[in-house]
Structure 1
């Protein structure tokens, strides 16, 4: 189930959204205190995704600065950028869901 307007799954209380999906494309969750091998693996994957996203951003900026970059280069850069953005949003969503409820849900001003 996804959050309305987003492609991010609803995270059941007490579970962590993992940075990968099942072979069927369904979200994976972990029930843990944040310790353990699987939690550590998830942290490592999230860190790698964020690092990769920074590399993709650098590459995309390079392509956009090149006035001679062809359609193929621009499309490739945009495709990689959307993948990196998807990963970064999933990491942010997962981490945000793990914040204390009073920090996560702010009242509108």
Structure 2
């Protein structure tokens, strides 16, 4: 039975977009690939954050940029986690 899955992008009006799927179609595979890329980026940002925090010469502008990127990555990871939790119900 198809279930709604939130896509990693929004609709034209900026609202969340959903796909009714059984999880096996080409769009589902595309969403899986995007999710994997977003999770990989979050992991890379964590490594970059560790480097910047260890460097005494890191500037506030660098930290602000990192925090902006990490906010975006955490938003993506949160969406992925919510999708997976909803799929487990």
Assess same fold via TM > 0.5. yes
Residue of structure 1 in register with 2:11 after alignment: 22
**Pairing 1:77–2:62 present:** no
Instruction: Identify unmatched segments of 5+ residues in structure 1.
Output: 1-12, 102-109
Give the 4+ runs in structure 1 shifted more than 4 A. none
Q: How much has 1:24 moved relative to structure 2?
A: 2.3
Residue of structure 2 in register with 1:46 after alignment: 35
Instruction: Identify unmatched segments of 5+ residues in structure 2.
Output: none
The answer (yes or no) to whether the contact 1:52–1:84 under 8 Å persists in 2 is yes
Aligned equivalents of 1:75, 1:69: Cα separation in 2 = 11
Residue of structure 2 in register with 1:37 after alignment: 26
Q: May I ask how many residue pairs the two structures share in their alignment?
A: 88
Match of residue 49, structure 2, among 23, 44, 60:
60
- Deviations 1:46-75 (CA, angstroms, capped at 9, x unpaired): 000000111111111111111111111110
**TM-score between both structures, scaled by the size of structure 2:** 0.92
**TM-score between both structures, scaled by the size of structure 1:** 0.76
The answer (yes or no) to whether the contact 2:3–2:22 under 8 Å persists in 1 is no
